[in-house]
């Protein structure tokens, strides 16, 4: 494959020196871009778009053609593994992802089998490979998966939830069965991420979307332990260089020290965390990724630039920071505001790295 022309992201994730802070955003290939909406319309549905390697690669590259981003992230969904396990993923209009066959009893959990990525998730691996070819070394490609616990939440509830009552009933009422499901998910996630790395992903990210709603000791036992299982078992080198691993628990700021201790290279933080404090707490152990509130992107260019400056100053001089939003970019973001964000990060951070 083509040599990497911009390895700023990989270097920052490994806390190596960079000339400026790298920036990418979660959901950067998405509905705020008119070209994405045109491709999705052509595909007919989100599922059809996601399961077409050529179209998935097309939308992955769209923001790179528009903005000076430092990474691409393969266009996919966090719930591909449960779908490959036979739960029947679909998207209801206005409701988000849902499963046709959620896990409603012990027999359903016991019947689950590990998916084979080469067979059951081939469309993702083909998309990864096609993205790498299309990028031609411009920037690194990030692969990803939902975390074992977040996958379990959707698998049990059948979709999103306000209170995750079914998940918590199982967790408190039959913890052994819940652990059995989480162990299966962790093995599936590790195998899946390994396959993405083999197909061409140069960094990988674990999205623990729902771990932050757990009580502290339950987070440690039911989410963090399985994140650690994944991190400790996936491949960490490809193409002669380290493959960085990013872990992001939304709402997990109170557990930063614990998250930093599981062996990942970087920890994502949301906007509820003060980045200066986060760096003091864990910055000597891991890189940090984040953490601007996505709603800032709905304001004005001067407000965006000021908030970028505040976060960069909060992190301070030196390496180990990847600028990102604290969650995914909203579909209502004016596309020109992404240019403001990316350019501001690059321009304002150069002096910080000269000082570092």
Asked about 27 being catalytic, the answer comes back as yes
How close are the terminal C-alpha atoms of the chain, in Å? 33
Active-site position among 40, 98, 138, 218: 40
Asked about 192 being catalytic, the answer comes back as no
Active-site position among 32, 67, 154, 192: 154
Asked about 183 being catalytic, the answer comes back as no
Contact 186, 226 (CB under 8 A): yes
Active-site position among 27, 98, 138, 218: 27
Active-site position among 70, 77, 83, 194: 77
Contact 283, 319 (CB under 8 A): no
Strand partners, 98: 90, 159
| Dist CA 210 CA 226 (whole Å) | 13
| Dist CA 273 CA 287 (whole Å) | 15
Structure tokens at 212: 């932050």
DSSP class per residue in 330-341: PTTS-HHHHHHH
SS (H, E, C) 125-157: HHHHHHHHHHHCCCCCEEEEEECHHHHHHHHHH
| Dist CA 291 CA 42 (whole Å) | 33
Reference 155, options 57, 231, 80; nearest CA is 80
Asked about 154 being catalytic, the answer comes back as yes
Task: Give 241's contacts (C-beta < 8 A, 6+ positions apart).
Answer: 10
Structure tokens at 159: 């979709």
Q: How many CB atoms lie within 10 A of CB 195?
A: 20
| Dist CA 87 CA 210 (whole Å) | 19
Active-site position among 31, 166, 236, 281: 31
Helix 122-135 / helix 175-199 crossing angle, nearest 10 deg:
40
| Dist CA 8 CA 322 (whole Å) | 9
What are the residue numbers of the active site?
Answer: 27, 31, 40, 77, 154
């Amino acid at each position: 494959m083509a040599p990497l022309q911009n390895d700023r992201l990989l270097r920052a994730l490994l806390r190596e020196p960079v000339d400026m802070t790298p920036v990418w955003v979660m959901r950067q290939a998405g509905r705020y871009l008119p070209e994405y909406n045109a491709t999705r319309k052509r595909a007919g549905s989100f599922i059809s778009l996601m399961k077409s390697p050529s179209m998935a690669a097309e939308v992955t590259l769209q923001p790179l053609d528009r903005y000076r981003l430092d990474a691409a992230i393969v266009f996919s969904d966090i719930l591909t593994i449960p779908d490959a396990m036979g739960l029947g993923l679909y998207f209801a209009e206005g409701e988000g992802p849902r499963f046709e066959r959620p896990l409603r009893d012990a027999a359903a959990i016991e019947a689950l089998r590990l998916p084979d990525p080469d067979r059951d998730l081939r469309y993702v691996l083909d998309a990864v490979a096609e993205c790498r070819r299309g990028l031609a070394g411009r920037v690194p490609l990030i692969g990803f998966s939902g975390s074992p616990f977040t996958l379990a939440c959707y698998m049990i509830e059948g979709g999103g939830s306000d209170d995750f009552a079914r998940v918590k009933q199982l967790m408190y009422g039959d913890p052994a069965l819940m652990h059995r499901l989480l162990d299966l998910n962790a093995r599936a996630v590790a195998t899946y991420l390994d396959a993405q790395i083999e197909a061409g992903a140069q960094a990988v990210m674990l999205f623990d979307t729902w771990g932050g709603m757990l009580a502290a000791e339950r987070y440690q036992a039911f989410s963090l332990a399985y994140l650690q299982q994944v991190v400790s078992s996936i491949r960490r080198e490809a193409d002669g260089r380290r493959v960085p691993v990013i872990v992001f628990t939304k709402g997990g700021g109170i557990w930063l020290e614990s998250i930093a201790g599981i062996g990942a290279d970087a920890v994502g933080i949301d906007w509820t965390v003060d980045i200066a404090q986060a760096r003091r707490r864990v910055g000597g152990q891991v890189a940090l990724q984040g953490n601007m509130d996505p709603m800032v992107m709905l304001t004005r260019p001067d407000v965006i630039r000021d908030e970028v400056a505040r976060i960069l100053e909060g992190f301070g001089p030196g390496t180990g920071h990847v600028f990102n939003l604290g969650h995914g970019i909203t579909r209502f973001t004016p596309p020109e505001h992404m240019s403001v964000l990316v350019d501001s990060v690059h321009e304002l951070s150069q002096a910080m790295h000269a000082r570092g």
